[in-house]
Amino acid sequence: MKKNLLIICLILGIAMMYACSKDDFTESELEETQQTDPDPEIADDPGDTDDDDLNANSQSIHYENAVLIAFSSNGASVTNPFENNGVTVENNNGHIVITSAITELELNYVLSGIIADGSVKIYGEKKFGLVLNGVGITNPNGAAINIQNKKKGTVTLVDNTNNRLIDGSTYTYTDGEDMKATFFSEGNVEIGGNGALEIRGKNKHGLCTDGALTITAGTINIKEAASDGIHTNDEITISGGTLTIRSVGDGIESESKTEPVSITAGDISIITTGEKGHAIKTKYNVEIESTGKVEITTYGAASKGIKPAGDITIRKGDITVNSAGDAIWDTDEQDISSAAGIKCDGNFLMEEGTLTLLSTGKGGKGINVDGTLIINGGTVTVTTTGDQYVYNRSHDTAAKAIKSDGNLTINGGNIKIRTSKTEAEGLESKAILTITGGEIDIEAYDDAINASTHIQVDGGNIYCNSATNDAIDSNGTLTVTGGVIVAAGASQPEGGFDCDNSRFTITGGTLIGIGGATSTPTAAYCTQRSLVFNSSSSNIQYIRIESTSGGQEVLTFKLPKTYSSRMTMLFSSPSLAANTGYTIYTGGTISGGTDFHGFYTGATYTKGTSAGTFTTGSAAGSVSTVGTSIGRP
């Protein structure tokens, strides 16, 4: 009886082992392939309910052509030198309406003082200046500042002053007039000066213009917005100052289809909390070439950090985007909508700068591009920790670090990617993926590098490690002409290099691919010799290959992870000479030297155990095989 029970348990154990899918490796194998550090987290939004203290400029200021309005708890006092020259100022207990018929002069409207129930409305047909000199305006029934003049307004935040604008949660409207924000303008607005401005938007937007917005200086803090923090119908240019936004809707949104959101300087911090509350959104392009910092956190489901309908170009800047929201089922699109650090409907180009992305929600993406994606330089770090999102059992999406529907090209820079949950891939193109240079470091749960049509590697130093799938996986052809590649896939049937039965061309570079299997180079298309080494030994730590005669080193390698059963290694290098015998050693010790993720140069190796020998062929693209392969299923 005991003997039969033992046999039954043994059979069940074997069946369970072979029933495991590629996502069901043993606990020890997964621990070896994944990060030992805990997944990074995004802190909860602390909110900001405290108002800043208001203060006026302690020194007297003088502006030419100025209308002075000084608010107080009793209303407002008005000084209007142009009362008989076409400027009228209505004062209804602190609710001010300025109407200017002057077309020769650019007037300045200087506001100061504090009022709990007041407002300023401006009419006119000429450019003007609006000077905030320690003013605090709360309007319980509408916008604090409402500019109906369609000409440009230049807003000056007087040095060393704090200013505050607060609207009401409900508005009393005037027929035929827009009023969509605490600070609203029909025309272009330019904000400068070295003072501070606090805005609270309780009804809709914080700051809105139907024209363009330019920020050159000042400290602007939009502490709350029921909808967008900043909303414009035309371009947005930020060339200086400090801008902080916390909004339920979008942080910054431009409706322009022809002019970009452009950031060239200044420090920007944006927090959005609502579903599909994107930090920077535009119907055209986003261009960043900034000497300052951009820090973004989005908490809402399906929210994006930067989301243009056009292109994104990053030429310089220090950009951090944290997205915490889960994906959702979009009933309008009848599709899943995921949160993302960057979601670009057009093309993505990065020349220089630092881009750091963290996505923690289910199905969250780091960079998600509908068009082409090109990285020429800079530092890009992408981490996703979210699991797969599943809707109604029939629709799902996994987290992805960097993904493009078009061609994806890396010509330089430093790219670091980490993904850790179900089906989360590292670097993916739905077309052609090309690497010509750069330092690339990827640890992914699923495929580390994947392309639908073709993968081309012409240079760079590439390390890619998949916990449960292939390290480099092309659904079409695969070509390597240069560079150094260390590719660690999972156990059989996954591997370091996989292009199924398509053409695998090697004409240069150093390739080290380990896993449970490998695609074999297509000898007729190769001009560099390769080795496929199959080992049934478990837990191999070191591999050394040297010439049998003379002991000339061609490979000294420490595996980035161990395999509990069999292991397959693909190795190709210009060092493999024609018609030469080589010996493979496993085990031993390595000391000194330098290494690239286990690929050593200049190290001292103490020999372990001989695991086989081979002699290369005379053909330039010959492939030698040591050990028996069980092949890819």
Q: Is the pLDDT of residue 16 over 70?
A: no
CA pair distance 499, 502, nearest whole angstrom: 6
Q: Quick one: how far is CA 539 from the chain centroid?
A: 37
For the chain, which residues make up each domain, given as ranges? Answer: 64-183, 462-633
Per cent of the chain over pLDDT 70 is 93
What are 463-486's pLDDT values in tens digits? 999 999 999 999 999 999 999 999
Q: 483-533, pLDDT tens digit by residue?
A: 999 999 999 999 999 999 899 999 999 999 999 999 999 999 999 999 999
Encode pLDDT of 280-305 as tens digits.
999 999 999 999 999 999 999 999 99
Write down the pLDDT at residue 191.
98
Q: Using only C-alpha atoms, what is the Rg of the chain?
A: 32
Q: Is the peptide bond before 560 cis (omega within 30 degrees of 0)?
A: no
Predicted confidence band at 36 (pLDDT cuts at 50, 70, 90)? low
Provide mean pLDDT across the span 40-57: 80
pLDDT bucket at 24, cuts 50 / 70 / 90: very low
CA nearest to 197, candidates 161, 227, 224: 161
pLDDT exceeds 60 at position 185: yes
**Span 390-394, average pLDDT:** 92
Q: Which sign, positive or negative, has the C-alpha torsion 584, 590, 595, 601?
A: negative
| pLDDT higher than threshold 60 for residue 11 | no
Over residues 81-103, mean pLDDT? 96
Q: What's the 3-state SS for 532-570?
A: EEEECCCCCCEEEEEECCCCCEEEEEECCCCCCCCEEEE
For the chain, the farthest-separated pair of C-alpha atoms sits apart, in whole angstroms, at 114
Q: Which of 59-68, 100-109, 259-268, 585-594 has the lowest mean pLDDT?
A: 59-68
pLDDT at 31: 38
The pLDDT of residue 5 is above 60: no
- What is the band of 100 on the pLDDT scale with cuts at 50, 70, 90? very high
What are the beta bridge partners of residue 569? 514, 533
> Residue 17: which pLDDT band, with cuts at 50, 70 and 90?
very low
**Residue with more model confidence, 560 or 5:** 560
Indicate the average pLDDT of the chain.
Answer: 93
- Report the pLDDT averaged over residues 528-546: 96
**Cα(237)–Cα(391) distance, rounded to whole angstroms?**
39
Cα-flanking dihedrals φ and ψ of residue 17, to 5°? -65, -45
CA distance 96 to 90: 6
52 falls in which pLDDT band (50, 70, 90)? confident
Residue 37: pLDDT over 80: no
> Does 48 score more than 90 pLDDT?
no
CB-CB contact of 610 with 583 (8 Å):
yes
Higher-scoring residue by pLDDT: 604, 37:
604
- Residue 275 pLDDT more than 70? yes
Residue 29: predicted pLDDT = 41
DSSP E strands in 55-152: the ranges are 66-72, 75-79, 87-92, 95-100, 108-115, 119-123, 128-138, 145-147
Distances in whole angstroms, Cα of residue 341 to Cα of each of 130, 323, 522: 36, 6, 39
- The predicted structure's pLDDT at residue 61: 76
Q: What are the DSSP calls for 384-424, one per residue?
A: E----EEETTTEEE--EEEEESS-EEE-SSEEEEEE-STT-
**Residue 516: how many other CB atoms lie within 10 Å:** 22
**Band (436; pLDDT cuts 50, 70, 90):** very high
Question: What are the percentages of helix, strand and coil residues in the chain, rounded to 5?
Answer: 5, 50, 45
Average pLDDT over residues 551-577: 95
Q: What is the dihedral of CA 124, 126, 127, 128, to 10 degrees?
A: -50
- In whole angstroms, give the CA distance from residue 612 to residue 373: 44
pLDDT band at 58 (very low <50, low <70, confident <90, very high): low
Mean pLDDT of 3-8: 39
Any residues with CB less than 8 A from the CB of 465 and at least 6 apart, and which?
33, 442, 443, 444, 448, 471, 487, 488, 560, 561
Please report which confidence band the pLDDT of residue 14 belongs to, taking 50, 70 and 90 as the band edges. Answer: very low
611-623 average pLDDT score: 97
What mean pLDDT do residues 358-373 have? 98
Beta bridge partners of 442: 417, 464
Q: Do residues 488 and 34 touch, judged by C-beta distance below 8 A? A: no
**Bridge-partner residues for 123, per DSSP?**
99
d(CA 587, CA 428) in angstroms, rounded, equals 35
The string of pLDDT tens digits covering residues 569-608 is: 999 999 999 999 999 999 999 999 999 999 999 999 999 9
Has residue 378 got a pLDDT over 70?
yes
Q: Give the confidence band of 56 by pLDDT, cuts at 50, 70, 90.
A: low
